[in-house]
């Protein structure tokens, strides 16, 4: 089966800046694929090259086996590109905006109205685009990208700047879009978003893809320690070390910062048993590694979105 996207050796330079430095990736049909990285990593440039709106200096790109550059009219009906909300015409209403996008693709008014309904903007159909909240504007931009029913949708940081509730609402919409069978490619600098939404993510920094995989696989491959924490004062750190040695709990690190006692371990089961036997489970939290730890290991520095 042909992949939705196959890119090989893509490079793009702006003056002295090598924005994209040898990116190769494959996105399978139906996948929810994330390109994750901090500001300036090269995510937007990569996405624009994949969309066919920017010419690469080097490399080959195929969407459904076709080259997106120069602009390929056979591909245009099959792909949806989310424009940044700020690119809307402020003086058009929500309804006029979606109808304008629908007209680009010769899509009827009924479908445009259905899209507004789908993203929950019917009640705001008469409101000017510049009066929409950040979340509403993002939903409108996603509706515009979907109005012609594309198979492959590109979203560039769709939840940037939204409050937590608006982000979660948008996540539900994005999940539904993918569940309908569409391939979704999203860039984000939010690690939690990538972890929650994406089947696979490429972690990007300084124009290069450092690693690609399912978020859970990337985290598991770290083989990082699990952190088991309880409230301080239930059992002391030295006592905990002794108890864990008695049961042969293996390599552990015990720390008490006055708020929590934390045991870092590869084998949490005996740690939990000892805490339970001591009646010291108040405030129990068990934390595994996250994509943040993956980024730290790949780059040697903390993740800064
Ligand atoms: N049109 C341009 N002209 C010159 N430099 C650019 C241009 N677009 C991007 N850059 C630079 O290329 C690098 C990669 O930018 P890009 O926007 O692709 O990264 P990004 O990961 O999407 O970042 P962000 O999360 O901030 O959008 C950055 O150093 C940026 O300043």
pLDDT, tens digit, 9 for 90 and up, residues 56-98: 999 999 999 999 999 888 999 999 999 765 667 778 999 999 9
Class of domain 5-215: alpha beta
User: Does ligand 1 have an atom closer than 6 angstroms to the CB of 37?
Assistant: yes
| pLDDT surpasses 90 at 5 | yes
For the Cβ of 14 lying below 6 angstroms from any atom of ligand 1, the answer is yes
Ligand 1 pocket member 19 (CB < 6 A) = yes
Instruction: Decide: 159 and 190 in contact? Cβ < 8 Å.
Output: yes
**Tokens standing for 30?**
């139906």
Q: Are 189 and 39 in contact (CB under 8 A)?
A: yes
Q: Could you tell me the two tokens for 233?
A: 């004062």
The alpha carbon of 161 and the centre of ligand 1 are apart by a number of angstroms equal to 18
**Distance from Cα 183 to the centre of ligand 1, integer Å:** 25
Q: Which of 23, 37, 43, 189 to mutate to test ligand 1, by most ligand atoms within 8 A of the CB atom?
A: 43
pTM of the model: 0.87
Write down the mean pLDDT value for the chain: 92
pLDDT band at 282 (very low <50, low <70, confident <90, very high): very high
pLDDT for the residue numbered 1? 63
Model pLDDT for residues 173-203, shown as the tens digit of each residue:
999 999 999 999 999 988 889 999 999 999 9
CA–CA distances in Å: residue 55 to residues 62, 67, 125: 13, 11, 36
For the chain, where do the domains classified as CATH 3.40.50.300 start and end?
A: 5-215
Residue nearest to atom 5 of ligand 1 (CA): 14
Q: Which CATH number applies to 225-288?
A: 3.30.70.260
> How long, in residues, is the chain?
305
Does residue 209 line the site of ligand 1, with CB under 6 A? no
């Amino acid at each position: 089966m042909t992949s939705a996207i196959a890119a090989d050796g893509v490079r793009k330079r702006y003056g002295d800046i090598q924005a994209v430095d040898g990116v190769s990736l494959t996105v399978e049909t139906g996948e929810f694929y994330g390109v994750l990285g901090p500001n300036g990593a090269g995510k937007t440039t990569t996405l624009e090259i994949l969309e066919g709106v920017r010419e690469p200096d080097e490399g080959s790109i195929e969407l459904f086996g076709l080259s997106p550059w120069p602009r390929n009219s056979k591909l245009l009906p099959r792909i949806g590109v989310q424009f940044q909300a700020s690119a809307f015409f402020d003086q058009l209403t929500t309804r006029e905006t979606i109808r304008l996008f629908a007209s680009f693709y010769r899509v009827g008014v009924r479908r445009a109205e259905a899209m507004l309904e789908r993203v929950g903007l019917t009640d705001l159909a008469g409101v000017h685009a510049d009066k929409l909240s950040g979340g509403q504007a993002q939903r409108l931009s996603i509706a515009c990208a979907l109005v012609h029913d594309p198979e492959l949708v590109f979203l560039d940081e769709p939840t940037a700047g939204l409050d937590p509730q608006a982000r979660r609402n948008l996540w539900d919409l994005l999940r539904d879009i993918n569940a309908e069978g569409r391939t979704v490619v999203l860039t984000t600098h939010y690690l939690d978003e990538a972890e929650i939404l994406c089947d696979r993510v490429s972690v990007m920094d300084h124009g290069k893809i450092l690693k690609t995989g399912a978020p859970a696989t990337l985290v598991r491959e770290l083989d990082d320690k699990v952190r088991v924490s309880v409230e301080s004062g239930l059992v002391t750190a030295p006592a905990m070390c002794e108890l864990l040695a008695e049961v042969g709990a293996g390599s552990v690190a015990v720390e008490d910062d006055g708020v929590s006692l934390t045991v870092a371990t590869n084998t949490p089961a005996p740690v939990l048993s000892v805490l339970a036997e001591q009646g010291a489970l108040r405030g129990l939290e068990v934390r595994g590694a996250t994509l943040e730890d993956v980024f730290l290991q790949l780059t040697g520095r903390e993740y800064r979105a």
